[in-house]
Amino acid sequence: MVRRRWRSAGSALLRVVTVWAVSTLTMLVLAGILPDFQLKADDTDSITRVALTAVWGAGAFGLLGALVWPLAVRALLLVPALVVGVLAFFLNGSLLLVALSLIPDGRGEADPETAVVVAAVMSAVASATSGALAVRDDEAYRRRLSRLAHRRGRRGGDDGRHGLPGTLFLQLDGVGHDVLLQAVSDGLMPTVASWLGGDEPTHRLTPWRTDWSSQTSASQLGILHGSNHDIPAFRWYEKEGREVVVSSRPAGAALMQRRAIARTGDGGLLTFDGASRGNLFSGGADQLALVLSIAARRGKSNRSRAGYFAYFSDPANAVRTAMSFAAEVVREIGQSTRARLRGDGPRVKRGGFYPFIRAFATVVQRDIVVAAVLGDMLAGRTAVYADLVAYDEVAHHSGPHSTDALKVLQRLDRSLELIAKVAEHAPRAYRIVLLSDHGQSPGETFQSAYGLTLANLARAGCGLPVPRRAARTTSASEARDAVRTALHRPVPDDEEEQEHPEPATDPVVLASGNLGLISFPDVAGRATREQIDRHHPALLTTLANHPGIGFLLVRSEEHGPLVLGAGGAELRLDGDDGSGDGRTGETGPLAVFGAGAADAVRRTSGFPHAADIMVNSWHDPETGRVHAFEEQIGSHGGLGGEQGRPFLMSPYTLSAPVCDGRELAGAEQVHRVLRRWLRECQGPQVPMVVGESAEDRRPEPEAEGPFPVSDGAVQDKSA
């Protein structure tokens, strides 16, 4: 034991000396390259004296980083969250200037701008060296993780439950079932491939069907809180308050969460020792980081920035993220330029601030969320739900099957590999569940295909003047609004006006991917088909017969919820078989949208805040293409194509999500499956909720393992 301790101490000392030596060498090289960085008083200084100066400066810089950096970064949390990374970058340079001032005889000198560069390079080199040494010394790496886990466990209160396995839910935002299989088949996701394939696969892959509103707020609210009732779209108009609720605004997310909790009477999936990371909603978790629904709060109860401190408290993290951020901006500019020069189509504009928004989603948000998840596992938390939005943001602008988007999945797979490796060192075993909230469907935008927006088409149908130049439709972007929230930036005036329209004869037209919503503010309650026909006799016919529109949902005074299609086709949803005229939903206007479409539309028709006219775009069942009513060539929000077919990947140690060939349909059913799995891991202390059936409470029969079949589904080997 004594020998082992001496050997450990010797290894630790060797690592410190090695990192110090490499930092010294780096400082000497930079002093020789950069004219504004000096390590000597004059030209008479010997090489030995300069080297000793570098040794002193590198040591002082490393010591200051270890002592001062954590305190400084904690103080920086008082400023807007996204600015932390930028300020931390320059704080590193300030520490170098202080370190140089501590060198005897004033031999260290650098301009402030040069100090930032030198500090960044030295931190990056020191981090790489330390990481390489840790990789070569597995025992040291294990001890470091064990000490960190023990310290965090004591701080969080270890109540002796670590003998039971924890559950980690990782959401790959926007990744459809078929896209995941494509990435695995192309060799871009070796970690996921190892879970699904090989001689002994550890995970099963199950596709599931979203609700009509196939977008993050509806799916994630249903998954985390067990109810997505009255979430008709990403944004919708509420007549009683004369305002538009937007899912990616803190106020909108908080409202949706309050309503879900009131409806279910339950705090959410994560109320039992849970952590919520990078999500729109808390799920009832006590540990929160980058959670939108609490971002508007101020005070001690708001711990959403905890993830920023946990990540940026390491100066190497700040430098690495800043460099990766810059590289991602350059990567996006290069990719968009090549796409424009090649004449790729369909294509949307990718200039302005978009490269920075993409870099935030694919670098900053990813790094902070992954770091928070690692901390949660090392602290031994029972349940963690984290959302990684990188793919979704890129796929909107580059296309869901584009090389740009698939490369993002490749980088996300590396994050999954890191999480899986760190899980081996956690104080409890973890069962990793991988899932998505929706997919994305490709296709040219509605405006690009037909030269006008849905709003202009609606105005024309109402007999109102249409501007000669179509205004750009506001595009839903969780990453853009997350950046705005992090910077505490107000909503732009043009969007503020759209979100608080005054009662008038002009319709309020909103877009959610390929789902459109048309409301009449001057009509109290939900306008009926008969009212719309009296005031705007050409509107419904104009919309239903447009080639870019698949179907409309309206409410009839005589027939209840009614689906309208081209050529006068109608489908009554109040019949016992899904139609009131002898036709099923699969043979009327909803035929090309597949099984389950009628049920999804019927459910939405009962929402209190369903729009007066719900519009779903055209859909080509052969290619899966749709027309987004926003500026997106990869979209989601309505029915049609891969957007409605996400995936759920679970370990075989958990019961099967469904059995007997049944379909996993709707986010609320996914919530019940995840809650069942938590109960399998933690026992009856995980509470049941209203609406759980006996099937939800009972594990399903286990199968031996999966293997892919031709249609992309996964079946049991024993079948």
For the stretch 180-203, pLDDT in tens is 999 999 999 999 999 998 778 999
Task: Return d(Cα 209, Cα 440) in angstroms, integer.
Answer: 13
CA distances from 445 to 335, 456, 551 (A): 20, 14, 17
Amino acid (one-letter) located at 640: G
- The top-scoring range by mean pLDDT among 117-121, 198-202, 437-441 is 437-441
**Is the pLDDT assigned to residue 43 strictly greater than 90?**
no
Residue 623: what pLDDT? Answer: 93
Q: 360 phi and psi, to 5 degrees?
A: -65, -45
Taking the chain, what is the end-to-end CA distance rounded to the nearest angstrom?
A: 54
Which neighbouring-strand residues pair with 208?
664
Q: Which of 58, 118, 120 is CA-nearest to residue 85? A: 120
Tokens of 414: 């590396």
Q: Please, what sign has the CA dihedral across residues 65, 71, 75, 81?
A: positive
Q: 607 phi and psi, to 5 degrees?
A: -70, 135
Residue 39: what pLDDT? Answer: 73
pLDDT tens for 586-642 read 568 999 998 899 999 999 999 999 999 999 999 999 999 999 999 999 999 999 999
What's the whole-number average pLDDT of the chain?
A: 79
Classify each residue of 284-296 as buried b or exposed e, where b means 16 or more C-beta atoms within 10 Å of its C-beta: bbbbbbbbbbbbe
Contact 131, 361 (CB under 8 A): no
Residue 19: what pLDDT? Answer: 74
Amino acid (one-letter) located at 394: V
Task: Return d(Cα 633, Cα 627) in angstroms, integer.
Answer: 8
Task: Return d(Cα 590, Cα 578) in angstroms, integer.
Answer: 11
Confidence of residue 580 (pLDDT cuts 50, 70, 90): very low
Task: Return d(Cα 676, Cα 692) in angstroms, integer.
Answer: 9
Q: How far is CA 464 from its chain centroid? A: 39
**Secondary structure string (H, E, C) spanning 638-673:** CCCHHHHCCEEEEECCCCCCCCCCCCEECHHHHHHH
Residue 695: what pLDDT? Answer: 52
Lowest mean pLDDT among 166-170, 323-327, 347-351, 486-490: 486-490
pLDDT tens for 631-658 read 999 999 999 999 999 999 999 999 999 8
Contact 704, 659 (CB under 8 A): no
Tokens of 508: 């309020």
CA distances from 493 to 101, 133, 269, 490 (A): 49, 53, 37, 9
Site of tokens 């079946």: 715
- The top-scoring range by mean pLDDT among 50-54, 496-500, 563-567 is 563-567
Q: How far is CA 609 from its chain centroid? A: 26
Which neighbouring-strand residues pair with 556?
560
Site of tokens 């000490």: 147
Contacts 24+ apart (CB under 8 A), 711-714: 712/177, 712/178, 712/181, 712/207, 713/207, 714/196, 714/204, 714/205, 714/206
Coil, strand or helix: which one is 350?
A: coil
Residue 577: what pLDDT? Answer: 44
User: Percentage of the chain surpassing pLDDT 70?
Assistant: 70
Collect all residues with Cβ–Cβ distance below 8 Å to 390 and sequence separation of at least 6.
173, 361, 362, 365, 366, 408, 411, 412
**Is the pLDDT assigned to residue 292 strictly greater than 80?**
yes
Q: Which residue has the higher pLDDT, 491 or 208?
A: 208
Helix or strand run (H / E) with residue 116: helix 112-136
**Is the pLDDT assigned to residue 237 strictly greater than 90?**
yes
Residue 584: what pLDDT? Answer: 47
Beta-carbon neighbour count of residue 651 at 10 Å?
A: 18
Q: Which residue has the higher pLDDT, 218 or 317?
A: 218
* Mean of pLDDT values over 121-127: 70
Residue 214: what pLDDT? Answer: 96
**Is the pLDDT assigned to residue 445 strictly greater than 80?**
yes
**Is the pLDDT assigned to residue 434 strictly greater than 90?**
yes
Tokens of 493: 């005036």
**Is the pLDDT assigned to residue 333 strictly greater than 70?**
yes
Helix or strand run (H / E) with residue 260: helix 250-264
**Domains of the chain as residue ranges with CATH:** 2-136 (no CATH), 166-442+643-716 (3.40.720.10), 446-478+493-638 (no CATH)
* Mean of pLDDT values over 144-168: 57
Contact 120, 323 (CB under 8 A): yes
Collect all residues with Cβ–Cβ distance below 8 Å to 485 and sequence separation of at least 6.
249, 250, 292, 295
Tokens of 271: 């109320």
Residue 704: what pLDDT? Answer: 37
User: Percentage of the chain surpassing pLDDT 90?
Assistant: 45
pLDDT tens for 11-22 read 667 777 777 787
Tokens of 538: 């050409």
Sheet of strand 570-572: strand arrangement: 508-512, 515-519, 613-617, 549-556, 560-564, 570-572
Confidence of residue 294 (pLDDT cuts 50, 70, 90): confident
Site of tokens 């529109």: 549
